[in-house]
Amino acid sequence: MTNSLIRTLRLYTYSDLIFYVLFQKLRFRSKFENMSLPVSDKYLELLKRTPRGTVQFNDVFFEREVDFDAELTVILRNLGQFSNLLFPIGKNPLFGNYGAVLLDDLLAEERKILKRIKQNCSPDVYRPIEERLEKAIITIINCAPRSALTTRNGMNGEDFHLAITDRGLEIYCVPVERLEALETRNRILALYRIPNESLRATDGSLEQFRSSIIATTRYFPETLEVIYQYENAEQLMKAKKQGEHPNAIPTQSKSAQLAFVDKFGNVRISVLDNEEFMQKCNNPSFGDKLQIKIGDSQSVVAYYVQALKDIPTGELGIYQNISDKLTNGSHATYWEIVRKSEDPNNEPYPAAKALEALNPNYMEEEFSVFPY
């Protein structure tokens, strides 16, 4: 073999190796970051929808007693109208996680109600009501203090993300952890990063109040950096099953954790796996007593029931939320812990206070439920 041929083979092998490495890097980036991909036509069309109203869960608002679960539910289930709803979450940022799932569920509930109306009304009555489904509910979740970590190297806080659910809910969120409940339930079909430096309606490198303007990003889709986007829930589930879905959003790790506390002191917990949860309770029958612990606390007794009406007056009860349905292959559900009272508006010792007495850190620690 001549020296020139050997040099040629060596050059070819080296070049081929370099090409292979570069190809794999690009393939990895496309597979897990998709930063170079444009927003797909499906989501470009969704971003063109006329806004129907905004719902903001934000730490910038003054704290006030508000039950956003009740407010949003009565508005959307009654097919009511709203323009801008503001809910403070500074003291309980985790409530923002639950708020996003609640809104997504209410969109599904709204469609179900409208379907029944359509079956019972003439088109001239139904069509004006149906038009609400063609508009977008814009959701903003913001709890992003400028800490040493989030302002390092000149950063202006963590970047916002845009998430779009399988029901079309549009959520602008920071930090991305506030999307945990939706991701655990396999609801998010598209996720985009919104770099501070790409904000068009303001100077994102300096803006202190980004949540006041972040929703205008929908009019500049070219600034969105694709993390993932699926055509449907089946594609999402396939990617997760094959280990090809980016781990951009954390999912729930505790078997059960606090999700929300309503005006009456009723507590809602997020259960990671409903079947496993029931097995740990020995698959109880309605009326059985269970024990609830939080972290390393002592236990408190609660009756396992089908609904609030079945709890003995004055006692604690626990039951799966009747409106909660398993979706998209997820086993996560919401359960209620409630004290039935003759006067719930003036109940001195509701469920939330009972749980706080067990463990003052009940909003952060893991819940355990087991047989009595």
CA–CA distance, 217 with 359 (Å, rounded to integer): 42
State whether residue 242 is helix, strand or coil. Answer: coil
- Every domain of the chain and the residues it spans: 1-32, 41-241, 256-371
Q: What is the dihedral of CA 279, 285, 287, 289, to 10 degrees?
A: -30
Q: Where are the beta strands (DSSP E) in 207-361?
A: 225-229, 256-261, 267-271, 289-294, 300-304, 316-320, 333-339
What class is the 41-241 domain?
A: alpha beta
Pairing of strands 300-304, 316-320: parallel
What's the confidence (pLDDT) of residue 327? 74
CA–CA distance, 47 with 194 (Å, rounded to integer): 14
What's the confidence (pLDDT) of residue 147? 65
Collect the ranges in the chain with pLDDT lower than 70. 1-36, 146-147, 149-151, 153-156, 206
What class is the 256-371 domain?
A: mainly beta
What's the confidence (pLDDT) of residue 329? 82
What's the confidence (pLDDT) of residue 3? 47
Contact assessment for residue 168 and residue 107, using Cβ atoms and an 8 Å cutoff: yes
CA–CA distance, 247 with 236 (Å, rounded to integer): 12
pLDDT in tens, 48-83: 999 999 999 999 888 888 899 999 999 999 999 998
